[in-house]
């Protein structure tokens, strides 16, 4: 079972009242495996196994991961991948598990008027399965980002 099939309450059974020290965004709790996998190697030793980390969802904020200690944070520049919510580039992935980026979806929309990306992702979630908690900087399922991008692309980029 991939992370996209987990109960949303799985991540919310701890008290997480702290906010991003730079922008006050509430953020979203991520499992430790997310920053362990996605931070640059030289920074991984600074992770604290006893900390709860959150991903800052403010697209205008440089912070990627933060903890209750306001001095203990990691920026988007510390990541090994570009984060969908932090970088508007067309080369940025909106689905990290199966490699779909904004440009590939936009190209399909411009070519055929529709996209099969959601169907493709949903079938691959079953087999071979997703691993969003290790590939998506947000630490969770990408379907919301994919759906948002399809809507934005249809509205602003496809004529």
Domain coordinates of the chain in residue numbers? Answer: 28-78, 102-157
CATH class of 28-78: mainly beta
Q: What is the pTM of this model?
A: 0.89
Q: For the chain, give the mean pLDDT.
A: 92
Q: Cα-flanking dihedrals φ and ψ of residue 79, to 5°?
A: -85, 155
5 pLDDT above the threshold of 70: no
> For 78, left (φ over 0), alpha (ψ -120 to 50), or beta?
alpha
Averaged pLDDT, 146-153: 97
Q: Cα-flanking dihedrals φ and ψ of residue 32, to 5°?
A: -60, -30
Averaged pLDDT, 99-113: 97
């Amino acid at each position: 079972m991939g992370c996209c099939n987990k109960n949303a309450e799985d991540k919310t059974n701890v008290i997480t009242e702290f906010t991003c020290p730079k922008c006050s965004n509430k953020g979203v709790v991520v499992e430790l495996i997310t920053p362990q996998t996605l931070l640059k190697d030289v920074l991984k030793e600074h992770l604290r196994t006893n900390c709860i980390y959150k991903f800052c969802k403010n697209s205008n904020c440089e912070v990627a991961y933060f903890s209750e200690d306001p001095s203990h944070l990691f920026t988007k520049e510390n990541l090994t991948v570009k984060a969908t919510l932090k970088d508007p580039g067309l080369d940025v992935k909106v689905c990290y598990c199966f490699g779909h980026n904004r440009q590939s979806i936009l190209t399909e929309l411009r070519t055929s008027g529709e996209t099969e990306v959601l169907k493709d992702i949903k079938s691959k979630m079953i087999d071979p399965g997703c691993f969003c908690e290790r590939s998506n900087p947000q630490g969770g399922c990408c379907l919301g980002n994919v759906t948002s991008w399809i809507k934005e692309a249809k509205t602003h980029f496809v004529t």
